[in-house]
């Protein structure tokens, strides 16, 4: 009987050994997200590119598509849900909320409003008072440049009528280089750097030195935050990992960025050198005393309140907005 029991058990063990192992569960499909970017691919988006290249989004179960539009269109798409995240300035968020589009900034990108008014150093234009009577080229009466100009005038009590404003489209550098205007608007981490690299010394008047406007940030819709808070947290977490890597090694981040900006990859060495300067300047905008204390992506409530006051006083915002609902630092944790 005992021998028969052993024989039966041997057969059972052999059959068990031959049986196929249970199949491993299939990995969950990545969640596909669209990030509505401003304008065109460029080095200022290096943190997003780095987060893709290093697999930070993939590690969170996310697959990212970059969709480049003008900011006004990006705001609409995020509000309507056709893009889950986007980039927009604080003033755009407040204006959108006033129109019933419930956008929320979930991480701040630039810690200082980046718009500057730059001129050839030979003009000796160094203060807002020096702008009086000068021709000033801006893309148009819209967007960050116009908001920056209005905030600068608001802070210094200068009237727009005291300036000679010229709408030059997005050709500010050419307009200034060819002396079509005496001053041009631009981003402190972009146009003035390009002009200086071309051998033209410049002076810049920074809007942020005179008024604390909220800058650009990552925005999403209230609906996504309410229904998928962990999705927002995962996206912000991966993006800030990318931002930290760019800060730690801008040269490596630049190499990564070349794979996402095809025309830059094939550009000559001089052009690439200028773009590396742009990236280093951009990295500086991401950091401040507040981020040192609270972490990258931190949003300052005081700058939001100041932006609201300016927009209301200037008439750009025609009704009050609950500023506390326009941003959150919840997803930085």
| End-of-domain residue from the set 209, 233, 251 | 209
The reply to whether 9 falls in a domain is no
Same structural domain, 139 and 240: no
The reply to whether 17 falls in a domain is no
CA distance 301 to 298: 10
Query: What is the structure's pLDDT at 27?
Result: 55
Task: Name the pLDDT band for 5 (thresholds 50, 70, 90).
Answer: very low
Is the distance from CB of 83 to CB of 64 less than 8 angstroms? Answer: no
Is the distance from CB of 198 to CB of 81 less than 8 angstroms? Answer: no
State the DSSP code for 39.
Answer: S
Task: Name the pLDDT band for 22 (thresholds 50, 70, 90).
Answer: low
| End-of-domain residue from the set 209, 237, 263 | 209
What contacts 320, CB < 8 A, 6 or more positions away?
A: 308, 312
The reply to whether 10 falls in a domain is no
Domain tally, the chain:
2
Same structural domain, 106 and 223: yes
Packed helices 269-285 and 229-248: angle between N→C axes, nearest 10 degrees: 120
What contacts 119, CB < 8 A, 6 or more positions away?
A: 125, 134, 176, 182, 183, 184, 202, 203
Same structural domain, 51 and 186: no
Give the CATH number of the domain where residue 182 resides. Answer: 3.40.190.10
The reply to whether 18 falls in a domain is no
CA distance 211 to 310: 9
209-248 pLDDT per residue, tens: 999 999 999 999 999 999 999 999 999 999 999 999 999 9
Same structural domain, 98 and 226: yes
The reply to whether 160 falls in a domain is yes
Query: What is the structure's pLDDT at 39?
Result: 81
| 271 has pLDDT over 70 | yes
User: Residue 327 forms beta bridges with which residues?
Assistant: 105
**Residue 75 exposed, middle or buried by CB count within 10 Å (0-12, 13-18, 19+):** buried
Same structural domain, 223 and 94: yes
Number of other CB atoms surrounding residue 92 within 10 Å:
25
Average pLDDT over residues 40-65: 97
Same structural domain, 97 and 193: no
Same structural domain, 159 and 140: yes
The reply to whether 61 falls in a domain is yes
Helix extents (H) in 87-169: 90-98, 143-156
Helix extents (H) in the chain: 2-18, 46-53, 56-59, 71-80, 90-98, 143-156, 172-177, 191-197, 222-227, 229-248, 250-258, 262-265, 269-285, 289-294, 301-314
pTM attached to this predicted model: 0.89
| 288 has pLDDT over 70 | yes
The reply to whether 24 falls in a domain is no
295-323 pLDDT per residue, tens: 999 999 999 999 999 999 999 999 999 99
Average pLDDT over residues 246-273: 96
Is the distance from CB of 40 to CB of 69 less than 8 angstroms? Answer: no
CA distance 215 to 303: 9
Same structural domain, 233 and 261: yes
The reply to whether 88 falls in a domain is yes
Query: What is the structure's pLDDT at 169?
Result: 92
| 289 has pLDDT over 50 | yes
| 190 has pLDDT over 70 | yes
| End-of-domain residue from the set 209, 239, 261 | 209
Domain of 308 in residue numbering reads as 31-111+214-332
Q: Provide, rounded to the nearest whole percent, the portion of the chain with pLDDT above 90.
A: 86
Is the distance from CB of 307 to CB of 313 less than 8 angstroms? Answer: no
Which is more confident, 15 or 170? Answer: 170
| 12 has pLDDT over 60 | no
CA distance 5 to 324: 75
Number of other CB atoms surrounding residue 297 within 10 Å:
23
Task: Name the pLDDT band for 74 (thresholds 50, 70, 90).
Answer: confident
| 201 has pLDDT over 90 | yes
119-150 pLDDT per residue, tens: 999 999 999 999 999 999 999 999 899 999 99
Same structural domain, 143 and 219: no
Same structural domain, 249 and 306: yes
Query: What is the structure's pLDDT at 21?
Result: 52
154-185 pLDDT per residue, tens: 999 999 999 999 999 989 999 999 999 999 99
Six token digits for residue 219: 């925005």
Same structural domain, 107 and 218: yes
Query: What is the structure's pLDDT at 19?
Result: 47
Same structural domain, 197 and 327: no
What contacts 154, CB < 8 A, 6 or more positions away?
A: 211, 310, 313, 314
On average, the pLDDT of the chain sits at 91
Which is more confident, 232 or 25? Answer: 232
Average pLDDT over residues 35-44: 91
């Amino acid at each position: 009987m005992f021998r028969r029991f052993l024989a039966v058990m041997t057969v059972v063990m052999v059959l068990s050994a031959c049986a196929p192992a249970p199949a491993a569960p299939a990995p969950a499909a990545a969640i596909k997200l669209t990030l509505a970017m401003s304008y065109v691919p460029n080095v200022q988006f290096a943190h997003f590119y780095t987060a893709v290249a290093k697999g930070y989004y993939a590690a969170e179960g996310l697959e990212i598509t970059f969709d480049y539009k003008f900011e006004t269109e990006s705001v609409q798409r995020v509000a309507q849900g056709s893009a889950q995240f986007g980039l927009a300035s604080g003033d755009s968020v407040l204006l959108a909320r006033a129109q019933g589009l419930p956008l929320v900034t979930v991480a701040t990108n630039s810690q200082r409003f980046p718009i500057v008014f730059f001129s050839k150093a030979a003009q000796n234009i160094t203060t807002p008072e020096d702008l009086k009577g000068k021709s000033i080229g801006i893309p148009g009466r819209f967007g960050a440049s116009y908001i920056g100009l209005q905030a600068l005038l608001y802070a210094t009590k200068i009237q727009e009528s005291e300036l000679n404003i010229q709408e030059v489209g997005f050709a500010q550098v050419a307009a200034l280089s060819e002396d079509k205007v005496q001053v041009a608007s631009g981003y402190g981490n972009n146009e003035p750097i390009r002009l200086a690299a071309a051998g033209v010394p410049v002076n810049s008047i920074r809007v942020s030195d005179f008024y604390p406007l909220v800058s650009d940030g990552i925005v999403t819709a209230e609906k996504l935050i309410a229904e998928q808070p962990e999705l927002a947290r995962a996206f912000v977490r991966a993006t800030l990992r990318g931002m930290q890597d760019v800060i730690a090694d801008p040269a490596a981040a630049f190499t990564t960025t070349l794979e996402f900006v095809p025309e830059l990859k094939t550009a000559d060495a001089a052009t690439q050198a200028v773009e590396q300067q742009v990236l280093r300047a951009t990295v500086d905008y991401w950091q401040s005393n507040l981020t040192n204390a609270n972490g990258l992506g931190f949003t300052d409530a005081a700058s939001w309140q100041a932006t609201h006051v300016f927009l209301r006083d200037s008439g750009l915002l025609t009704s009050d907005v609950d500023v506390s609902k326009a941003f959150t630092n919840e997803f930085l944790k």
